[in-house]
């Protein structure tokens, strides 16, 4: 019986793969086979965050939306999603098969849609949204019509996310939101935002938060780009002034938004950590870094070779960890603490590799002499501090792993310290 089930599953996967291949052959061109790195040939820009013009960014967003729409119409836009909301109702294995096939083709980068909206916000809406919200937003998001952003961080609520002060006050069947969010990726392209709001200031901070879906074109929503030191403006601050949101766009219970936030954060760490090295992956790969060492006449340098070997080992270990996490998801599990390990290793791998490369390049990193593969590292180097913050700082990730995986004592919180000091000042604690 088991062998027969496996045969049926194998046959089903073969049919799915043929269907996916037929779609890709008709809609996109095959990529040229990967060749060895030839120093000085091709584009040498090495970046993580972009610094494209507004016009170029818009062109890329339009291309991403068009490709997502084509995938969705062909049945490959949300392979694992429930059919009632526009999904295909298949397994994560089908998703993996399709991703592997699409990687062979030259297609637009859909990161602006997938990393935050489809990777974090979509699963959160599916888990906590009302039927009305699911029906309204999920098909539109996975068809590429709606881009979503995450309205979580604030000037005084970053690592301590539960310290959000943006207020939402109930007014009949609506909520009125006032406050400020910051470091909001893709807000300038988004039609939807998931906002954490303080709805009960009398409750402990983790228990007085409500999650609301905000239409980004609502009156009172003001998106202002933030200039990064690497040159681009991919982050934004978002001001919310008397923004009205129907209660039907609430996710989860009133004052129960922290549970909703945890769903988003776990999917965030899984999405970010599984990137490998994101858009800079080729630059920190063994072939590229080996070519850099050869060009700089350091390939036989024992110290440089040892450090390169350490980098490759770390990247391989991270890829194996991601595979283990993926197997867990395929078996029906939810993103767990291993996502925090992946996220931690992801940022550290990219940072270490970038610092290694810039040390090999030397002073040519500082001035654009025109030499291929030298000054181009500058942009990636300036991006690495952000990589150690986004998706949860390294300190936060280490605390999560220490407390939830290793079972170490919980680190004293600022709130606990403040309470203790207040008691001592009042004399009650003596």
More confident call, 246 vs 395: 246
Burial class (CB in 10 A: 0-12, 13-18, 19+), 163: middle
Q: What is residue 269's predicted lDDT score, i.e. its pLDDT? A: 56
User: Do 289 and 386 reside in the same domain of the chain?
Assistant: yes
Q: What is the mean pLDDT of residues 210-214?
A: 98
Q: What's the confidence (pLDDT) of residue 67?
A: 97
Residues annotated catalytic, as ranges:
268
Question: For the segment 109-152, what is each residue's pLDDT rounded down to a tens digit?
Answer: 898 888 899 999 999 999 999 999 999 999 999 999 999 999 99
Residues 6+ apart with CB under 8 A from 279: 47, 48, 109, 111
Choose between 424 and 316: higher pLDDT: 316
- The span from the CA of 326 to the CA of 253, in Å, is 30
CATH number at residue 20: 1.10.540.10
Q: Does one domain contain both 369 and 285?
A: yes
Nearest of 169, 161, 156 to residue 201 by alpha carbon: 169
**317 located within any domain:** yes
Measured over the CA atoms of residue 125, residue 126, residue 131 and residue 137, the dihedral's sign is positive
> Which CATH number belongs to the domain containing residue 243 in this structure?
2.40.110.10
- 283 and 343 part of one domain: yes
Q: Which residues of 240-272 are buried (b: 16+ CB within 10 A; e: fewer)?
A: beebebbeebbbbebebbbebbebbbbbbbbbb
Strand segments (E) across 199-261:
209-215, 221-226, 235-246, 250-251
Single residue among 142, 163, 197 that ends a domain in this structure:
142
Domain count, the chain: 3
Instruction: Please indicate, yes or no, whether residues 165 and 116 belong to a single structural domain of this protein.
Output: no
User: What's the pLDDT at 271?
Assistant: 58
DSSP 162: G
Pairing of strands 209-215, 235-246: unpaired
Do 96 and 192 lie in a common domain? no
Asked which of 96, 115, 142 is the last residue of a domain, the reply is 142
CA 109 – CA 44 distance, rounded (Å): 18
State the Cα–Cα distance between residues 363 and 374, nearest whole angstrom.
9
Residue range of the domain that includes 95? 15-27+44-142
- 249 & 359 share domain: no
Determine what percent of the chain is predicted with pLDDT higher than 70.
87
Q: 172: which residues sit within 8 A by CB, 6+ positions away? A: none
**Domain membership flag for residue 221:** yes
Residues 214 and 292 grouped into a single domain: no
Strands 167-171 vs 235-246: parallel, antiparallel or unpaired: unpaired
Q: Is 261 among the domain residues? A: no
pLDDT digits over 245-289, tens only? 999 999 999 999 999 998 988 776 555 545 554 557 778 888 889
Domain-terminating residue out of 198, 230, 256: 256
Residues 103 and 152 in one domain: no
Same domain, 164 and 214: yes
Q: Are strands 192-198 and 29-30 parallel, antiparallel or unpaired?
A: unpaired
């Amino acid at each position: 019986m088991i062998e027969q089930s496996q045969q049926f599953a194998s046959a089903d996967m073969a049919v799915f793969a043929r269907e996916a291949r037929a779609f890709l052959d008709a809609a996109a061109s095959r990529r040229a086979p990967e060749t060895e790195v030839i120093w000085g040939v091709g584009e040498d820009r090495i970046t993580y965050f972009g610094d494209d013009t507004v016009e170029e960014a818009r062109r890329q967003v339009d291309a991403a939306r068009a490709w997502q729409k084509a995938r969705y119409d062909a049945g490959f836009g949300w392979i694992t999603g429930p059919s009632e909301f526009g999904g295909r109702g298949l397994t994560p294995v089908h998703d993996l098969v399709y991703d592997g096939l699409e990687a062979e083709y030259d297609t637009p980068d859909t990161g602006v849609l997938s990393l935050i909206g489809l990777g974090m916000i979509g699963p959160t809406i599916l888990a906590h949204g009302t039927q009305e919200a699911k029906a309204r937003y999920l098909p539109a998001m996975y068809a590429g019509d709606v881009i979503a952003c995450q309205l979580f961080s604030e000037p005084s609520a970053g690592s301590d996310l539960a310290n959000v002060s943006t207020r939402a006050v109930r007014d009949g069947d609506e909520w009125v939101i006032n406050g400020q969010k910051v470091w909001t990726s893709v807000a300038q392209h988004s039609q939807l935002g998931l906002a954490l709001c303080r709805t009960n200031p009398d409750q402990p901070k983790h228990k007085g938060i409500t999650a609301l879906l905000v239409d980004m074109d609502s009156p009172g929503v003001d998106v202002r780009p933030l200039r990064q030191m690497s040159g681009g403006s991919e982050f934004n601050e978002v001001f919310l002034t008397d923004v009205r949101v129907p209660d039907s766009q609430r996710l989860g219970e009133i004052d129960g938004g922290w549970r909703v936030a945890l769903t988003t954060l776990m999917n965030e760490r899984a999405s970010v950590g599984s990137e490998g090295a994101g858009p800079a992956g080729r630059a920190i790969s063994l072939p590229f870094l080996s070519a850099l060492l050869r060009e700089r006449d350091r390939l036989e340098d024992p110290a440089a070779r040892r450090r390169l070997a350490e980098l490759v080992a770390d990247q391989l270990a991270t890829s194996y960890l991601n595979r283990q996490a993926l197997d867990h998801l395929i078996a029906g599990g939810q993103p767990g603490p291993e996502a925090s390990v992946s996220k931690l290793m992801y940022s550290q791998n990219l940072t270490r590799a970038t610092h290694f490369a810039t040390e090999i390049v030397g002073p040519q990193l500082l001035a654009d002499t025109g030499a291929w593969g030298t000054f181009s590292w500058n942009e990636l180097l300036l991006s690495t501090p952000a990589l150690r913050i986004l998706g949860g700082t390294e300190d936060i990730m280490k605390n999560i792993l220490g407390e939830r995986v290793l079972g170490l004592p919980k680190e004293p919180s600022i709130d606990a310290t403040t309470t203790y000091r207040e008691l001592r000042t009042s004399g009650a604690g003596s």
